[in-house]
Amino acid sequence: MTTTDYATYIASLPRVLAGAAALFRDAEGRVLLVEPNYREGWALPGGTIESDQGESPRTAARRESAEEIGLDVPLGRLLAVDWVLGTGRPPLVAYVFDGGELDAAQLGSIVLQQEELISWKLVEPAELTSYLPGSLGLRIQEAHRVLESGEGAVELENGRRPA
């Protein structure tokens, strides 16, 4: 296969979007959510993996957390990987990492990225699907269950464990 043939082959492959987020919580176990200004609903700190820059999912989650809430902390283990089908967009692979427990000083030092975020709040785990729409809420609930149970990372499809 020539270089031109290989480039043509690569260009013909289906596209997949990739994102990564960090699940932060406080001493009471509440989950930190952010409110974007570019869409309805809430989210975890996180965003698109810049694979064209050689960025890994873990690096992306840490970078996005630093950009969005001003906290640059090492992330813990992978909690969930979710394959999310979309309408009007390619499928998404979403990674969720343990952001750890934030103390009062860290919570007090949160600085929101004004270009993308309106506010932040701490939410009880049982209320996550009230704030996080669709498969996002299911994904974060599953990631939180993994965190609490100590089990290994979970594979998800549209926020649910495959049958």
Query: Are residues 21 and 43 in contact, defined by beta-carbon separation less than 8 angstroms?
Result: yes
d(CA 151, CA 75) in angstroms, rounded, equals 17
Q: How many CB atoms lie within 10 A of CB 146?
A: 20
Structure tokens at 52: 């064209």
What element of type H or E holds 35? Answer: strand 31-36
Asked whether residue 53 is domain-assigned, the answer is yes
Where residue 95 sits, what CATH number does that domain have? 3.90.79.10
Asked whether residue 93 is domain-assigned, the answer is yes
Residue 50 lies in domain: 17-157
Express each pLDDT in 40-91 by its tens digit.
899 999 999 998 889 999 999 999 999 999 999 999 999 999 999 988 889 9
Whole-number pLDDT of residue 1: 67
Question: pTM score, two decimals?
Answer: 0.93
Q: Which residues contact 62 (CB under 8 A, 6 or more apart)?
A: 22, 72, 73, 74, 75
Q: How far does CA 28 lie from the centroid of its chain?
A: 21
Q: How many domains does the chain have?
A: 1
Asked whether residue 12 is domain-assigned, the answer is no
